Structure 1
């Protein structure tokens, strides 16, 4: 967690299980633990060697197993389908460096990268290559990098091509000296070897034929993209991608003159306010929406505690909070905060993540998503500075392609692995008698007490049971079946509460979905809104319907935006562990979401090049900067020669482009 220890668990996930069991902790196999105290780096193959040998045996020979259904024995065989890991581990396992000019593991040698000499970072843009050949963005040399784009999208190399490229690395000991030797390369050198090793997984006979060997983890990708967006929109010091250095890079690239620094006298320089920069009042309104959010139990953590209105910032979000934020809450909070040309591509990005994370996917939908995300990223390129486009933003482009080969992402992301890792750590802490939070203890108590108490009562002798009160005996024997009214009820995998019982709670479980034409509307961005001052009925009339069948109940919660008086945005939810097992045809209105349902889809069809973009905000005073700061930066940049090898290394501890703050949150 917040220590210097780096412990690496290696977990096997058996996929031949029902979807509601596949990624559960009880089904995961902890095959080995790499203790640290530092990460193994590319030498991880040394630790994986025993596991790979067993995988080869499972493929070549198999193991004798017993089939309980037929009462027979058979030879069980297994194959490794892919790996799931965060982005630094992607480099260690695959052998391809995920830093520097060629950081994208899908584009590889065709990675479109540009070194920003003022920001001293590498940016990854060039998403016009994935657009249709006749798309008007390809001819636009004004709003992009000052050039037209006629290249085709890069192709991901096959396993056989990777084996050929890394053939000279076979048998070499993966270590620091070997790593440094093969990191000395220049972009454009035809004989350069970017591979650090040939992965030990290629010793599996079938590995070179796999369409998808290593997954780009959607969990960490969403977290990094969300952090980029939030930091830039709120102008968080030290985290925003829009700094005076970014504006100097715009000038060096010769693009977006509206946002270049403007000299005001001898000692002052003004930085124009960009279209994505919020004013103080806009920040307050944006954060107030998130501050007032109350979500159902288990939907997310208490996000309102992470919002600091006085400092106008949000911090300390877990990876799952970012998942909820980017897919549901961020578009709602943005509705009244920024110009349309800014919020529309951000909402489209939200829709993309929503679709990618659905339980049910089709090839046609994924192909359309691939085209949509290319146009969306191009729109973002026209708005945000190049420094915004870290490699984690770029790899969003490849998630739809990987879903075509993989399957829904809830089989291929790190939420269950991370959760299991934390449970293992908590168990170890308990064994060591170290302090554990009250929340962890309470959760363990709630999970175990009911079963323990029932077993205790049922195991008592008749004489001992007679000493108990009638209430305790009844509770211990079985649930009381005559209860007529309850404050909460669980059905269809959803928990409902009465409004009275949740008045003082931070969660909201009372919303039940019904259809009505009164007090309901859809705004211009496609968000459904309700007005509780226009109720259908209050239950006074004879014909007023007071009840809903439990089997038909679906849940919603409401997000208040004080800038839109009396109107609440409706967000539908779905049970996390309820799946369509294929008993009948899929419903057309079942979007198969893993956790949340509605998103504004009506903006998807608008013209990708129709927006009139004003890059600077003339109604807001620019930010004044000391001219000496600018001069010192330019002197440092122009005075020092920066070689490619200065930023191509394997020290992920200082890689600001990969933020994984959830591991450090208490």
Structure 2
């Protein structure tokens, strides 16, 4: 899991040029001179031309805008939208699980409309590899194929990204398949459950002076209560929260309890669907009517089904069942989560191809959104029903060449068969396709599994190869290393001024020469990230007549300069002066020119780096 996090930070940091995370810089570009993307001199500044992995500002906005609009179901992950800064065009406050979710699910979708095709394909295959290796069930026969494909993928990435990108963490990706062969699926070995347990233990602490004692005492009490409640069936425990997993498995209404009157047509439509999908009714379809007239063969549930439900039904805005939490579309629009997406697998008649017009029965997947949640009362029991708006299968669903399942939510069909049993529903959610606003991409939600009963559903163990069939295998020409569709490179900026940000301070010694007298002055620079400034306090001693002076340094990355405004009082004769600090990486120092309004001669300050024999930074 930490390998995946570090690889993701390298990829997203390089794409968005995040300071401290990007693997692209002046030193990295010096290794790429032969490829035509080395540093260039533009006057006194150093310019880095756009490489194939360099995003323009428009492309950065596209990627960040996509992530800022993602709404996930309950329990899927944290709110992705809070991790995106549209102002700075970067991701912030990323946790390990956030990197896991974005890397495997959202990054391949977010880059669909940006970058060159071959670069985009290589990054997508890297994301698909992590998704395959983190599956709950892995066929051992597939692992040699995964090993072969990840080696090819890393070789492709080496053709685009600089050598600095391939650190030890990227190298460790090669060994993940071997680790899976020896130790089993990755989800059984990662640290997410331990981190969740640590969060629970931290909540046990009420006396901060004795944290260990609080954890031990409360854990023992909770364990004792759980042990005792095993002997008390069907009794709600006191002092322990009721497990939501059982409620989500059996079905429970959540929001918007009210009773509405339905028409006879809707009532009969739902009732007919219930009769056709109840296990109690199914055996009687193939049996003779004489057997059905036998009173001994009629169960109480079948008798209630034959009488039909009440015309007054319970309507809700949210419902928990099958390990999922479902919302109506109206409730979804008010929420920060997306819980209205639903899919169901049903048997239907369809035509195989244009040449074969004979209809055949087959299982088809239908996708839609929930519009109504009703609970019908059959006197002895209740049955929850979802009224959905389904996407038309013929022209509303497609699979693109990248393997993404796309739906057109505006193409509605099957209006006469909008109802399904809530127990048949499986949750999905939709994200907008950056390449086309008409289509949405389908992603499947995670099912919450009860630790006591486990997951009794069938699991598909097939893992498809993540190698793109449309990938061009030809050797890439030198022209492919440079982006010709935009010229938004960047200026190389000296990073030594923010080198010691571990504690938030830089200690600098400065030599100032004024009329041949060189007294030593010291400064303490404090980094203020929120305001985007460096706060500097400088003590200057000139014959004892110069008091404390202050400066405010503003960092201007685009121009490659640091703009400084300094108030200096020299015997009251020197007014406000301004300075422009030029970053000179080759010489290893910062050149400062102080200019006033002409009443005094200009002064020059040289801030020496550790490369020189002068004072140390």
Q: TM-score range by the shorter chain?
A: 0.5 to 0.7
Match of 2:430 in 1: 558
Distance 1:628 1:428 in 2: 51
Q: Which protein has the bigger helix share?
A: 1
1:204-234 CA-to-partner distances (Å, cap 9, x unmatched) read: xxxxxxxxxxxxxxx1111111111111100
Q: Does the 8 Å contact 2:36/2:481 carry over to 1?
A: yes
Aligned position for 1:165: none
Of structures 1 and 2, the one with the larger relative CO (CA 8 A, separation 6+) is 1
TM-score (norm 1): 0.50
Q: How many residues align?
A: 368
Gap change, CA 1:342 and 1:456, over 3 Å in 2 = closer
Match of 1:614 in 2: 480
User: Which one of the candidate residues 298, 304, 322 is aligned to 1:492?
Assistant: 322
Query: Take 1:555 and 1:407, find their aligned partners in 2: how far apart are those partners?
Result: 28
The question of 1:242 aligning with 2:24 is answered yes
Query: Does 2:149 align with 1:372?
Result: yes
Matched, 1:521 2:398: yes
Contact 1:276 1:384 in 2 (8 A): yes
Kindly provide the CA deviation profile for residues 484-536 of structure 1, in whole angstroms up to 9, marking residues without a partner as x.
33322333322211111221111101111243223222233221211122111
Q: Deviations over 1:353-388 (max 9, x none)?
A: 111111111222111111111011111111111111
CA distance in 2, matches of 1:277, 1:609: 22
1:112-511 alignment runs, 5 A limit:
219-251=1-33, 256-265=34-43, 267-428=44-205, 432=209, 484-511=314-341
Q: 1:532 to 1:249 in 2, by over 3 A?
A: same
**Using a 3 Å threshold, how does the CA distance of structure 1 residues 583 and 305 change in structure 2: closer, same or farther?**
closer
Query: SS of 2:127's equivalent?
Result: helix
Residues 1:493 and 1:381: Cα distance change in structure 2 (over 3 Å): same
Q: 1:550 to 1:223 in 2, by over 3 A?
A: same
Q: Tell me if structure 2 keeps the 8 A contact 1:222–1:322.
A: yes
Structure 1 residues 578 and 332 mapped into 2: Cα distance closer, same or farther (>3 Å)? farther
The aligned counterpart of 1:629 is 584
- Cα contact 2:53–2:119 (8 A) shared by 1: yes
Partner of 2:420: 548
- Shift in alpha-carbon separation, 1:329–1:578, aligned structure 2, 3 A: farther
Quote the offset at 1:279 in angstroms. Answer: 0.6
Partner of 1:79: none
The C-alpha deviation readout for 1:12-58, integer Å capped at 9, x for no partner, is xxxxxxxxxxxxxxxxxxxxxxxxxxxxxxxxxxxxxxxxxxxxxxx
Distance (Å, rounded) in 2 between the aligned partners of 1:347 and 1:247: 24
Task: Assess, with a 3 A threshold, how the Cα gap between structure 1 residues 611 and 531 changes in structure 2: closer, same or farther.
Answer: farther
Task: Check whether the contact 1:358–1:591 (CA below 8 A) recurs between aligned residues.
Answer: no
SS at match of 1:617: coil
- Corresponding residue for residue 21 of structure 1: none
Deviation at 1:432, TM superposition (A): 4.9
* Cα distance between partner residues in 1 of 2:81 and 2:475: 36
State how far apart, in whole Å, the 1-side matches of 2:72 and 2:59 are. 23
Unmatched segments (≥5 aa) in structure 2: 212-221, 227-232, 240-309, 344-364, 367-392, 493-559, 561-581, 590-607, 613-617
C-alpha offsets along residues 398-450 of structure 1, whole Å, 9 cap, x if unaligned? 1111000111111111111122223223323565599xxxxxxxxx9xxx9xx
Alignment CA distance shift 1:562-1:335 (3 Å): closer
In structure 2, the partner of 1:570 is 442
Residues 569-604 of structure 1: CA deviation (Å, up to 9, x unaligned)? 1112241537998989x76x5558xxxxxx994626
Shift of 1:561: 3.8
Per-residue CA distance 1:165-195 (angstroms, 9 max, x = gap) = xxxxxxxxxxxxxxxxxxxxxxxxxxxxxxx
Distance 1:633 1:452, change over 3 A: farther
CA pair 524-637 structure 1, distance change in 2 beyond 3 A? farther
Contact 2:121 2:471 in 1 (8 A): no
Q: CA RMSD in A?
A: 3.8
How far apart, in 1, do the equivalents of 2:67 and 2:587 lie? 39
Q: Deviations over 1:66-110 (max 9, x none)?
A: xxxxxxxxxxxxxxxxxxxxxxxxxxxxxxxxxxxxxxxxxxxxx
Which whole-Å CA distance do the structure 1 matches of 2:100 and 2:210 have between them? Answer: 34
Normalized against structure 2, the TM-score is what? 0.54
Structure 1 pair 561/410, CA: closer, same or farther in 2 (3 Å)?
Answer: same
Classify the secondary structure of the residue corresponding to 1:367: helix
Partner secondary structure for residue 31 of structure 2: helix
Higher Cα Rg: structure 1 or 2?
A: 2
Shift of 1:632: 3.2
Q: 1:563 to 1:376 in 2, by over 3 A?
A: closer
Q: How far 1:560 sits from its partner (Å)?
A: 1.5
The alignment partner of 1:506 has SS state of: coil
- Is the 2:16–2:55 Cα contact (8 Å) retained in structure 1? yes
Distance 1:631 1:455, change over 3 A: closer
How far does residue 329 in structure 1 lie from its aligned partner after superposition?
0.4
Q: Which has the higher strand share?
A: 2
Asked if 2 retains the 8 angstrom alpha-carbon contact of 1:375 and 1:608, the reply is no
Q: Which residue of 2 aligns with 1:104?
A: none
**Cα 1:395–1:307, aligned 2, differ >3 Å: closer, same or farther?**
same
Question: CA, structure 1 residues 394+328, in 2 after alignment: closer, same or farther (shift >3 Å)?
Answer: same
Shift of 1:611: 5.3
Kept in 1: contact 2:139–2:461 (CA 8 A) = no
CA distance in structure 2 between the aligned counterparts of 1:602 and 1:491, rounded to whole angstroms:
37
